[in-house]
Amino acid sequence: MDLLASPLQNDFMVRAFIAAILIGLVCSVIGVYVVLRNMSFIGDGLAHASFAGIVIAYLLKADLYVGGLIFTILTALGIGAVAKKSEISLDTTIGVFFTAAFALGVALMSRVRTYVVDLQDFLFGNILAIDRRDIIIISVLAVAVLLVIVALYKELLFASFDPVSAGASGLPVDALSYTLLVLLAVTIIVSLQAAGIILVAALLVTPAATAYQLTNRFGPMMLISAAIGVGSGIVGLYLSYYLNVASGASIVLVATAFFFIAMALSPKRRSLLTALLDARRVGARVP
């Protein structure tokens, strides 16, 4: 029990655990849509694009969260609009937007003559530095994202699996797609302080990809993904505390370990292996 209770005696660790649980939950839930829609690259792209908004806000002495959020949402909507109205593929559009936005952030940051700890934290994450104000912002944004997902659960599900039929039935498929992009942008901003730009894409994709290995049903997939995301945050923080390693990296590595465990235990993998063994047995009996 001492191993579990000892970190909680520090206020900064309590705040870190609260943030890890909230971030693990919201990233894992929206990550299911990201994985099922094959949008994994866009999470990484928007995370990098947010850096420009954060740097602009810093230079203007504005709130970093607000600057990053506005710029990331605009980038997400821009990606969606260009990909829809041109013959350029979504991956190519993401690549163009996020590299340009990240380069803008680096160029603007190079004008700052002093070492800027806050900006470095957004690049690599520093969940242990989260304060009460950060907890309030993360909580409000995370709850807002989850409420929208609950409200539009059926519509987003239908549009994700069969957009053609969803459109034919009268659902505003384009509006739902833009809504999902905005939710993804907000989720990324929620997660930046904890995991950083470099690792945030893993929190969006890995828990959902792990859940996908274990079930084909959407509801259970979302629940499993959420459990893995929250569990990764808690276990990762404990390992970070006792092994003295970076918290964001520790959380992502734990989530990755869960992914490989799920692959080994996956019913899909076992079904495939059984089918291959049966095929070999049948082949061996054929003269």
Per the structure block, which two tokens stand in for 123? 């690049």
Kindly report the length of the chain: 287
pLDDT at 224: 94
CA 19 → CA 116, 176, 191, distances in Å?
A: 23, 28, 9
pLDDT at 84: 79
Tokens 């009460």, located at residue: 132
pLDDT at 147: 95
pLDDT at 233: 93
Nearest to 149 by CA among 109, 112, 186: 186
- Between CA 260 and CA 257 the distance in angstroms is 5
The listed CATH number (2.40.50.200, 1.10.3470.10, 1.10.1740.10, 2.10.260.10) that belongs to domain 2-198: 1.10.3470.10
Nearest to 82 by CA among 103, 98, 105: 98
* Residue 197 CB contacts under 8 Å (≥ 6 apart), including other chains: 47, 48, 50, 51, 122, 123, 124
Contact (CB, 8 A) for 25 and 146: yes
∠ CA 252-258-259, nearest 5°, is: 90
- Between CA 230 and CA 12 the distance in angstroms is 18
Nearest to 157 by CA among 102, 202, 112, 222: 222
pLDDT at 129: 84
Contact (CB, 8 A) for 196 and 252: no
Measured between its terminal Cα atoms, the distance across the chain in Å is 63
pLDDT at 282: 46
This prediction's pTM: 0.84
Residues of the chain with pLDDT under 70: 1, 113-120, 268-287
> Does residue 114 sit in helix, strand or coil?
coil
